[in-house]
Amino acid sequence: MSSQMTERVPEPNPPIAVLVPDSTKGKAQSYWSMVWKRFRKNGAALGGLVILLIFIVGAVFAPSLAPYPIDQMKFEERLLEPSAAHLLGTDDFGRDIFSRILHGGRISLMIGLISVAIATVVGVGLGIISGYYRKLDMYIMQLMDILMSFPALLLAIVIIAVLGAGLTNAMIAVAISAIPQYVRVVRSAVLTLREKEYIEAVRALGIRDYKILLKHVVPNILSPIIVMTTLLFGDSILSAAALSFLGLGAQPPAPEWGAMVYVGRSFLSQAWWMSLFPGLAIMLVVLGFNMLGDGLRDALDPKQK
């Protein structure tokens, strides 16, 4: 009897393993904190960020930092070399070039901001529609192929030829020329996402498309959009400066960097600083955005450790 009761006694349950998170290695880190940590390790990206911050601060506080009014003409001081009184010299009207470059940063950064904003909204929207709705993909991509068959600067010149010269039309032209790049990048990302199992599961539950796009698609394509925006910001400033140099963008006496380079080309033998310093400003800003974009691309790459 006792032996039978002993046999019937259930064996104790095996011990349950309890995972205790490590206080140092097991801390949950958000995705963006890891991105920032990888970004800080990239010296070139930090250098690009510093360059951009210097120009942004200079543009924002230009009225306070500029030693002279941008429209103050002193013909007795025309074509003066860089000195303590005029750090970057004066132009053919005796205006201080340093002051004009500071104020010109406002125009160039505004051109880049507005152009990229327009291109981002339109390009991302068309890219999402093209990638998610296959019936519309062919028509949208055929239009993008037509736009991409022209070099970006040539396309911008054609658009300005239709709209007319001017700063506003230059921003619109630069934005339109940048849209196809957004569409192709976003479309590629959406095509990959729409085949994921969790997207199909949400779609099977009867969730409306706009909710799927806003809650599940858009958050997962932010990384390529951020990188593309940073890189195209520099390209937009460079394209706008090129249009102003050709006389199709900002018009003198506006202190836009491309227009300043255009005016200074007639005085290269007498006053080389008139074209050199605005050209250096364009180069540094574009370089800063490219360095920042490369750093963000590496930081946002999930394969990076």
Query: 282-304: per-residue pLDDT in tens?
Result: 999 999 999 998 888 888 876 65
166 pLDDT exceeds 90? Answer: no
Closest alpha carbon to 277 in 105, 74, 52: 105
Q: Per residue in 4-18, pLDDT tens?
A: 444 444 444 444 333
Distance from chain centroid for Cα 108: 14
pLDDT class of 90 with cuts at 50, 70, 90: very high
List residues bridging with 96 in a β-sheet: 90
The pTM for the full model equals 0.81
**What CATH code is assigned to 34-63+91-299?**
1.10.3720.10
Q: Which residue, chain included where needed, has tokens 């199909």?
A: 200
Residue 219 has a CB neighbour count (10 Å cut-off) of 9
Give the span between the Cα atoms of 293 and 228, in whole angstroms. Answer: 8
Give the span between the Cα atoms of 247 and 43, in whole angstroms. Answer: 38
